Amino acid sequence: MLILSVSEAKRQIKDLVEQTGRRNQVFYITRYSRPKAVMMGVEQYENLVRQVSELQGELARIWAAVEAPLGADEPILLPTSDGGTRLFQPRRPVTPDVRDAIRRAAQLALAQRKRTPEQIIQDGHVALERARQAAMINDQAIEEEAEAARDD
């Protein structure tokens, strides 16, 4: 990238045209020290226009995905703190894997609401017992085992 004044560009126009075509050189042309124009080869310009067009198409597809409502077969209801639910609508595009993970997490949270406190406590005891057994296999201590190990 070279910066030239309008008067310099006028004097060297033949050479500048050659350089833009041969070396893909880009020239910024200034007037009163402010950029006013850019001079580049046709091939470079066409590549830029093509890239911008492709990016605009991709952006349009992304916005369509963001603004598209959830399909009738895939609504995701998220639990709310007041005991209700609300429809999940992402503000940004999400992959199908992320959508499935959110759906599974919401289903688990909704299923947890149906469990009684006794069921939750029982599951906690089962998980703690599994952790203790795994700790003993790995020669680690958990809670009471740590105190027993200190007393030995």
Give 1-46 pLDDT, tens digit per residue.
Answer: 799 999 999 999 999 998 888 888 899 999 999 999 999 999 999 9
Stated length of the chain: 152
Q: Specify whether domain 1-68 bears CATH 3.40.1620.10.
A: yes
Structural tokens at position 18: 């050659």
Q: Is 139 exposed, middle or buried (0-12, 13-18, 19+ CB in 10 A)?
A: exposed
The yes-or-no verdict on residue 76 having pLDDT over 70 is yes
The yes-or-no verdict on residue 64 having pLDDT over 60 is yes
Residue-wise pLDDT tens digits, 125-147: 888 888 878 777 777 666 555 55
Q: What is the pLDDT of residue 125?
A: 82
Phi and psi for 82 in degrees, rounded to 5? -85, 10
